[in-house]
Chains A and B, each alone.
Chain A
């Protein structure tokens, strides 16, 4: 999945038409087809192709995690040796409560952390216990750490591309 898939003009129109969400009608792909002047079969084929090529990660619902009771969401950040980060990142990413795990650059002196692991829990206590599990896993490879709690969603729209 290293080559960028080719998208044609109709793929792009389909992306623009669905980035706000799928129509809530019994035949949503037909509704899109009608809106775009395409055949329903064509819409389905294009969506399947984009799923296969990874342009679409999945089709589904994105819950507001606050509404589900996951009110504590901590971005845990760690300073680990660059030579060890891939091995450590893979292990941290496999922990069941970690929803995102990345290697990102430091911004010294303000930001010494290079490993980011997002943790979600139903209370701050639960998140803190989960973060201790990450710390235990990292052991002496952890040179500095912090956790940033989100206290407010300022915006959440997802991707928007132009028509």
Chain B
């Protein structure tokens, strides 16, 4: 990522406009051509410097549920279990972390009942106990980092 890529990411972590030509509006703000902004966004998505570009949905505001969960996976089974967990569409993201609980993932489902079903499915396919950590209270969420 070069300086201009970073400037684009910083601007686009704020709100992308809802208007007829939003890329043109953002490009003008950055002092670049609309086509260049679109091309760079495409490249950053392609090379995965950006994981997403678009609306960020809050599943709870849609009547759904969002739960952090973890597994203690034996090292020898790690790749197999990662594949099994990732195969579920309800798994929104999944990270390896260094702890006895070494696989941490987020389940996002359209209904609260979907969480229990997804946990049940993971326990059956992996043979491991799922530790669920539903949020009891949110104090702060703002995933913005200076690029």
Q: Do chains A and B stick together as partners?
A: yes
Residues of chain A having any CB pair with chain B under 8 Å: 1, 4-5, 7, 15, 18-22, 24-30, 40, 44, 47-48, 50-51, 53-65, 67-68, 70, 75, 85-86, 89-90, 92-94, 98-105, 107, 110-111, 116, 120, 146, 148-162
B93-127 contacts to A (CB < 8 Å)? 93-101, 103-105, 108, 110
A68 touches B135 (CB 8 A): no
Q: A61 CA to B20 CA in the complex, in Å?
A: 19
How many residue pairs at the A-B interface have CB separations less than 8 Å? 242
Residue ID in chain A nearest B59 by CB atoms: A159
Known: A27-B20, A103-B136. A70 touches B145 (CB 8 A): yes
Chain A interface mostly: mixed
B1 CB contact (under 8 Å) in A19, A30, A44, A67: A67
Chain B residues with Cβ under 8 A from A54's Cβ?
58, 61
B119-147 contacts to A (CB < 8 Å)? 131, 133-147
Interface centre among B20, B34, B59 (most CB of A within 10 A): B20
Residues of chain B having any CB pair with chain A under 8 Å: 1, 6, 8-9, 12-16, 18-24, 34, 38, 41-42, 44-45, 48-59, 61-64, 68, 72, 82, 85-86, 89-101, 103-105, 108, 110, 131, 133-147
A151 CB contact (under 8 Å) in B6, B34, B98, B139: B98
Interface centre among A1, A92, A99, A161 (most CB of B within 10 A): A161
New A-B contacts (20) at CB < 8 Å, excluding given A21-B52, A22-B54: A4-B63, A21-B45, A21-B54, A54-B61, A58-B15, A59-B15, A61-B13, A67-B1, A90-B139, A94-B140, A100-B141, A102-B138, A120-B145, A153-B94, A153-B95, A155-B94, A155-B105, A158-B56, A158-B93, A159-B92
B140 touches A98 (CB 8 A): yes
Q: A120 CA to B146 CA in the complex, in Å?
A: 11
Known: A64-B50, A148-B104. A26 touches B24 (CB 8 A): yes
Known: A61-B53, A62-B53, A99-B141. A105 touches B134 (CB 8 A): yes
Chain A residues with Cβ under 8 A from B34's Cβ?
26
Chain A residues with Cβ under 8 A from B41's Cβ?
24, 61
Q: How far is the CB of B34 from chain A (nearest CB, A)?
A: 6
A75 touches B97 (CB 8 A): yes
Q: A15 CA to B34 CA in the complex, in Å?
A: 25
Interface centre among A57, A62, A103 (most CB of B within 10 A): A62
B38 touches A26 (CB 8 A): yes
Interface centre among B64, B91, B140 (most CB of A within 10 A): B140
A104 touches B133 (CB 8 A): yes
A103 touches B139 (CB 8 A): yes
Known: A5-B61, A98-B140, A102-B139. A62 touches B51 (CB 8 A): yes
